[in-house]
Structure 1
Amino acid sequence: MSRILLAFLMLAALVSCGRNYSAPQDLDNACSIVSERPKYLRAMQATERKWGVPVPVQMAIIYQESKFIGNNRTPMKYVLGVIPMGRQSSAYGYAQALDGTWSEYQDQEGGRGKKRDKIQHATDFMGWYMTQTTKETGVPVTDAKNQYLAYHEGRAGYNRGSHNSKAWLLTVSDQVAARAVTYDMQLRSCGKR
């Protein structure tokens, strides 16, 4: 094999390893999102088939958690406004899954090869988590508002009602619910639901 061909193949392999972590262009239009990123729809449909979590609910929560940015992280914390002290939490990826919860998911659902920055793994995680939420809290997987509250606060926090003292979080959960309804109507209008 010639050196030029080998170099070209190595370069092609390297380029194909890169991932596009940018957000889709129009986050307010579900049809635009799934048209621009068809693998998102395939991943969410697989999660809906496996776990029963509707695509619009998944989309609304991913929007709220990461704005569809696959390598999204929480902001840094600073002391005296300039000295970095680490991130606010270990949340990472499309679903903003915490390290401990992600490890639990990996242990129960398929090993260490699952990555938070891969949409198919992130949506499967969400399906797993929301199904566990239904078992522990009784909140249906179709209830975007309360599933989001349990997702944000953790199931134990949700059961304690910790969200009830956070007016800002209740407002956000209403926005998540409204976005799920909007995404559902949009997906129906473009024949993706």
Structure 2
Amino acid sequence: MKCKQHLAVTGRALTLGLLLLLVGCTTSPPRNPDNLCDIFYEKDDWYDEAKSAEKRWRSPIPTLMAMMHQESRFVAKAKPPRTKILWVIPGPRASSAYGYSQAKDETWEWYQNNSGNGWASRDDFSDAVDFIGWYNYQSGRLANIKPNDTYHLYLAYHEGHGGFKRRTYRKKAWLMNVAKKVSRRANNYRAQLAGCEERLKSSWWPF
């Protein structure tokens, strides 16, 4: 009897451990976010999901991933910091932005209602990368931005299409500097991906 109880406890502990490990693998950010190949080797389903978004919305993987890096550093449940009341008391968050893509509530709802992905979740990588691709597609359609123009795509992502067309970013030197950084990261990611994409396209790769 004691032996059976011990086995039952051990089995439950093992199951719990495996579940915790699985959750940790799916939600923790990549260890080396500066190297796209390392990201995709570590998160072995992310390449296929990013490739799917690229094919669906014609937005290059390096642009998608560079924008996500800037928005959340690949943290699944990222939120803006809380404001401070009297410099000490935690107040409300600056916006409703959430998840990998830092999409706001109303923008995410727009995506859900118009992308065919009505059950999408902002803390799911596949949904978030598809959202960024979809938004970039809208930027091309509504603001005439080319799919590989990461600099202007990021400005439209940050300012919204109306703000982008009004050139509101021109009064925000800091934002233009961030957009340049995102563009440089996309270029770096593009060069990195060129060296490993064939391996990623296969069903396995040696480490």
**TM superposition score normalised by structure 1:** 0.90
Q: Looking at CA atoms only, which structure, 1 or 2, has the larger radius of gyration?
A: 2
1:142 aligns with 2:148: yes
Structure 1 counterpart of 2:23, from 18, 32, 42: 18
1:59 alignment partner in structure 2: 65
CA–CA distance in structure 1, aligned partners of residues 117 and 32 of structure 2: 34
37 and 17 in structure 1: CA distance in 2 versus 1, 3 angstrom threshold: closer
% same residue: 37
1:42 aligns with 2:48: yes
Q: Which stretches of structure 1, 4 residues or longer, exceed 6 Å deviation after superposition? A: none
1:104 alignment partner in structure 2: 110
1:188 offset after TM fit, Å? Answer: 0.5
CA–CA distance in structure 1, aligned partners of residues 21 and 73 of structure 2: 24
1:33 alignment partner in structure 2: 39
1:190 offset after TM fit, Å? Answer: 2.0
CA–CA distance in structure 2, aligned partners of residues 86 and 22 of structure 1: 25
Equivalent pairs, count: 191
**TM superposition score normalised by structure 2:** 0.84
CA–CA distance in structure 1, aligned partners of residues 19 and 191 of structure 2: 40
Unaligned runs of at least 5 residues, structure 1? none
25 and 55 in structure 1: CA distance in 2 versus 1, 3 angstrom threshold: same
CA deviation profile, 1:126-154 (whole Å, cap 9, x unmatched): 11111111111000121100000000011
Unaligned runs of at least 5 residues, structure 2? 201-207
Bigger mean CA offset, 119-128 vs 16-25: 16-25
